[in-house]
Chain A
């Protein structure tokens, strides 16, 4: 079983739709959960950061973490064509090294 699983997509939605992106994980030591957006051949750009379980909202983006189910989600409301990108979930156990373990990324296309 992979440590972090993420549906690669592609996911195509019409402009204005609500988008739901998800990751599951197997390592119960993960405590820090992040979502990054990556445009083609660019570096990952941090969107959301959550510690432990719960919800966090920032503008059109909402991140949810359910540690009991080992499941995290990112919701994008009122999606725009500029949201078209690959969305990466990443997580870490913290501690000295604090390495991030990434999912494969979900490719999202928001169409006019």
Chain B
């Protein structure tokens, strides 16, 4: 069964450093998403991406964040200058899109720890 994959599974970084989180969405999916979950809190939407551009972003997704689909299979989230409060689990998700195809499938997540 196709699934969303994410790398790395864990990342530890120093405050102020740049990190890139990588995702491989399900191959025939057209919509891609990033969510985050701070420990003990709910899953929060960051950004959605379709047709090589951002469809929607939350207030969390400020200028420190960017997304890219560098090739036909990868989808990345970059945090330019990490802060302590960026420590969280980051989930990538994808969906086919279209009527009746809105279901989002999530990857296993990348646990980011900013020291």
Binding site for B on A (CB under 8 A): 32, 34, 36, 41-46, 49, 51, 88, 90, 92, 94, 96-105
Q: How many A-B residue pairs have CB under 8 A?
A: 65
A90, B33: Cα distance in complex, Å: 14
Which residues of B have CB within 8 Å of A36?
106
Closest to B6 in A: A43
Binding site for A on B (CB under 8 A): 4, 31, 33, 35, 41-45, 48, 50, 55-56, 58, 89, 91, 93, 95, 97, 100, 102-109, 111
A55, B97: Cα distance in complex, Å: 23
Decide if A99 touches B43 in the complex (CB within 8 Å): no
Using A44-B91, A51-B100, A104-B42 as known contacts, say yes or no to A96 and B105 having CB atoms under 8 A apart: no
**What's the nearest-Cβ distance from chain B to residue A70, in Å?**
18
Decide if A98 touches B102 in the complex (CB within 8 Å): yes
Using A43-B91, A92-B102 as known contacts, say yes or no to A97 and B56 having CB atoms under 8 A apart: yes
Closest to B54 in A: A97
Using A99-B58, A102-B42 as known contacts, say yes or no to A46 and B103 having CB atoms under 8 A apart: yes
Name 10 interchain pairs, CB-CB below 8 A, sorted by A. Answer: A41-B89, A41-B109, A44-B43, A49-B103, A97-B55, A98-B31, A98-B55, A98-B97, A99-B48, A101-B45
A105, B58: Cα distance in complex, Å: 20
Residue in B35, B95, B100, B108 whose CB lies within 8 Å of A98? B95
A45, B55: Cα distance in complex, Å: 24
Residue in B4, B41, B56, B89 whose CB lies within 8 Å of A99? B56
A102, B26: Cα distance in complex, Å: 22
A42, B102: Cα distance in complex, Å: 22
**What's the nearest-Cβ distance from chain A to residue B47, in Å?**
9
A104, B33: Cα distance in complex, Å: 19
